[in-house]
Chains A and B, each alone.
Chain A
Amino acid sequence: MLSSPLGRITISSDAIAHIVGETARECYGIVGMAARGPVGKLLAKRERLTQGIEITRDDGDGVTIDLHVVVEYGLNLAEVASTVRNRVSYEVGRLTGLPVRAVEVHIDDVRRTG
């Protein structure tokens, strides 16, 4: 929650997850988001945009983001993960103004496309 002279602003975890999903899809090397069980699939229904994304908030409004991703075979996984982390942290911080405490990138699978 952010406070301003005119009132409080709340940003839902769902909104954050959508920003993360939109950003992750543009990240180079990411060819998919990993489904996290049937419940994860359920909650990711809308264009599967938030699939593989978990948002946790702490009392001070800090955001921790867990991403489960599938990376193209043959790429440097550490570099891809670090780019995703930077990019997601940057976009969420910039668009929501909330402090991003951590972005944990889990590479659940590696896939050879095409």
Chain B
Amino acid sequence: MTLNGDLAALQKVVAAGLAALEASRRRIDDLNVYPVPDGDTGTNLTMTVRALAEAVEETSAASRRSLARDVARGALMGARGNSGVILSQIVRGAADVLGEATAPAIEAAETARALRGAADAAYRAVRRPVEGTMLSVIRELAEEAEARAASRPPLGELLVELVRRGEAAVARTPEQLQVLRDAGVVDAGGAGLLELVRGVAAGVTGEPLPEAPPADEHLAVDAIHQELSRYRYCTVFVIEGEGLDGDALEAKLDGLGDSLLVVGDDRALKVHVHTDDPGAALSLGTLAGTIDRIEIANMHEQTHRREERLLAAVPDTAAARAATGVVAVVAGDGNRSLFERLAANIGPVRVVEGGQTMNPSTADLLAAVQALDAEEAVILPNNSNVLLAAEHAAANADRPVEVVAADSIPGGLAAMVAFDGARSAAENAAEMREAMRGVVTGEVTTASRDVQLNGLAIRAGEWLGLAEGQPVAGGGSFDEVATAVIERLLAEPRELLTLLVGDDPPPLDALLERVAAAHPEIDVDVQHGGQPHYQLLLSAE
């Protein structure tokens, strides 16, 4: 497939689109209140399309497919700002479709497919698409084109209809997005996309570029209230008098807040300031002259609903009593805080201090279960020596209790990943056991007495390494023993190695270097566990 007239046609429509966007750049900048009210959407879109125009001027593509690739690349490299990035993705989605088109010329059917590709690509790149933005506008354009393509209208006719639909879609953005409604504006990115389509339509039909909406179109005064401000009240008033000194007034007002604007002449000044003390601003005004047309707006109120929505995501610490809580037996301050920090996120958790040498009693565990603010409980003994006491506590508790037989702290942490306070104890236990199956654990400690290990004599005080509860190495070198344990844990393909470092840790640098060299594909996460006796607790998943 050769280029035929594609390149010349493309250069023409991109130039027309750019011209239309340039004409509306300032107006679009002024519309910009979302996602951040920094007033640069029109400029960003224009810069992005300029880069695109340069790419289609400079391309040496010899086929439709390589032209499409150059276009997508030009948009990618030239993308500026959030709106520019979205536009680059729209361009890429369309270029991917058009690059594969086999029709001799691009007509309505190809345009509809390209817009669908553009909309799909645009939506693909965001986790939570926001309606009332460029995204909903490109989607509506695709829908309109698809609905009309079947009757095979001439391309110019289709584009005129697309401009009409785009205008309707942009006009509807304030209904879809609260922050636009509050500010009394349409979406800037959507408006920019519409101007681009308007320009392209003019380029195709050969019509002169239609008049862009006037740049000084009245913006609701609320639009300024979206400016970044820490202050509560947007305060606007006019001072009338004789020989007014704007600069002197500005200097006096300067300490009161931000977004300060004093404009006018020696007979009338208009003051705009964001402040927490509008009274002080008005007092300064009355000292200079007669004040009039006072407007004080509570900006916090205007953004209140959006803030509520964002803050709703913050966990409610006073949430209703959970279905299930966890009692975990843990040794070491670091490990303890790992379990406890979970409490705020996923459900009630109580930590009972204990482990290898200090086993909590059945009564300790029972008391912890009954102190949980939850209907049911799961006990994580995290040590085989604690398992029996945990089972006794479960049998004697005043509520349903499941024991998930984790025999190590890393095993218990792996189980915690699957815990959800909103589910029953039985459901949790099943999920948590499943989660533990994906993890292998190990330990490095010192032998408390002389032992025989696979024909190897280990003296009291020497290093002893265990994997999945079984001794695998011993000797005088910490690095050798720990490496042997790690090799055993990584015998099957794993992604992640976690080290919980004990309260009396040996230097780890040499060991970590060794692991990085032998297993470059493994991520290593080192955490302070603080447990006694075990210089290292390990897990691999």
Contact = CB atoms under 8 A, between A and B. Distances in A.
Interface in B302-350: 303, 307, 310-311, 313-315, 338, 341-342, 344-346
A33 B315 CA distance: 19
Contacts of B539: 38
Contacts of B76: 74-76
A37 interface: yes
Contacts of A95: 307, 310-311
A39 interface: yes
A40 to B, nearest CB: 8
Interface stretch (B370-378, B382-390, B395-403, B410-418): B410-418
Contacts of A28: 82, 85-86, 125-126
A37 B495 CA distance: 10
Given A75-B79, A76-B88, A30 B126 contact: yes
B417 A22 contact: no
A19 B314 contact: yes
A3 interface: no
B89 A38 contact: no
A18 B72 CA distance: 35
A91 to B, nearest CB: 7
Contacts of A38: 413-414, 417, 496, 498, 525, 539, 541
A24 to B, nearest CB: 8
Interface string A1-34: 0000000000000110011011101111111100
Contact of A46 (B80, B228, B345): B345
Interface residues of B, number: 51
What size tier do the contact residues of chain A reach?
35 or more
Contacts of A30: 126-127
A87 to B, nearest CB: 5
A32 B130 CA distance: 16
B212 to A, nearest CB: 25
B523 interface: yes
Given A19-B310, A46-B345, 16 more contacts: A18-B313, A18-B314, A29-B85, A30-B126, A44-B345, A72-B124, A74-B72, A74-B76, A75-B76, A75-B79, A79-B85, A83-B35, A86-B38, A87-B82, A93-B228, A97-B230
17 contacts: A15-B311, A18-B314, A19-B311, A22-B313, A25-B127, A38-B417, A39-B498, A42-B338, A42-B417, A43-B342, A43-B345, A45-B346, A76-B85, A79-B80, A79-B85, A87-B35, A95-B310
